[in-house]
Amino acid sequence: MDTILHQFLQDPQIKKLYYEAKNNGDEEALKRLNKKFNDYLFEITFVSYLNKTVTLSAKEFYRKNKMLQNREICMLNSPNPATDTKFIDSTPDKSGDFVEEIICNEDSTTLVKHLTNPKLIKAVNMLNDKQKLTIYKSFVEQKSPSEIAKELDIPCKTIRNVKYEALKLLRQWLTSV
């Protein structure tokens, strides 16, 4: 409190008002001094409050921003450049390579090796890597969407959407051929 009082008394007008109130016993000067000190104290308190608010808001913004950056972003209805159709895709998963996971599978090397119909092979080759992996794990490995999601560390809803969209595209390509 002493430093606040010393800072308050640095102003020459305030010093003059203080000496008038103390030495002359002027009640009016004392009231003005008291009012000015209360205003000064309010200003310091208000600025301190604003400083804390801005600091905490910045920390909260940074925390939320970091959380959003780490979340997988789903982009619905992305255009497939190979076929001019739309499919559900998501940003690449940094934890693994989907193509390599299909190729490095111990049971079999690719989804296409399990197919005999040339039309179906052609249609499957038009899918993106995530769709191929989802179809492979669903039908060849016979895993549920929740098992696939846990294995790939992505949301189960994303797996269901990718599978649905892949099957829809396969149906479209096979009926149009």
Q: Does 64 share its domain with 79?
A: no
What are the pLDDT digits (tens) for 8-33? 888 888 888 888 888 888 888 888 88
Q: Inform me whether the pLDDT recorded for 109 exceeds 50.
A: no
Question: Domain residues for 106?
Answer: 72-176
Q: Does 38 share its domain with 107?
A: no
Residues in contact with 172: Cβ distance below 8 Å, sequence separation at least 6, in sequence order: 85
- Give the residue from 69, 103, 125 where a domain finishes: 69
Q: Does 25 share its domain with 84?
A: no
Q: Work out how many domains the chain is built from and give that number.
A: 2
Q: Does 16 share its domain with 49?
A: yes
Q: What is the CATH number of the domain that holds 128?
A: 1.10.10.10
Q: Does 35 share its domain with 122?
A: no
DSSP string, 112-138: GGG---HHHHHHHHTS-HHHHHHHIII
pTM, entire model = 0.40
Q: Name which of 26-30, 57-61, 81-85, 98-102 the model is least confident about.
A: 98-102
Q: Does 17 share its domain with 101?
A: no
Residue type at 41? Answer: L
Q: Does 114 share its domain with 62?
A: no
Distances (CA, A) of 135 to 30, 35, 43, 139, 140: 84, 77, 65, 6, 8
Q: Are 34 and 18 in contact (CB under 8 A)?
A: no
What are the pLDDT digits (tens) for 57-80? 999 998 888 877 666 554 455 666
Q: How far is CA 93 from the centre of its chain?
A: 15
Q: Does 10 share its domain with 44?
A: yes
Q: Residue 95: what pLDDT?
A: 54
Q: Does 96 share its domain with 147?
A: yes
Residues in contact with 100: Cβ distance below 8 Å, sequence separation at least 6, in sequence order: none
Q: Does 108 share its domain with 169?
A: yes
Going by pLDDT thresholds of 50, 70 and 90, the confidence category of residue 54 is very high
- Give the residue from 50, 69, 88 where a domain finishes: 69
- CA 133 to CA 103: how far, in whole Å? 10
Q: Does 143 share its domain with 82?
A: yes
Q: Does 63 share its domain with 150?
A: no
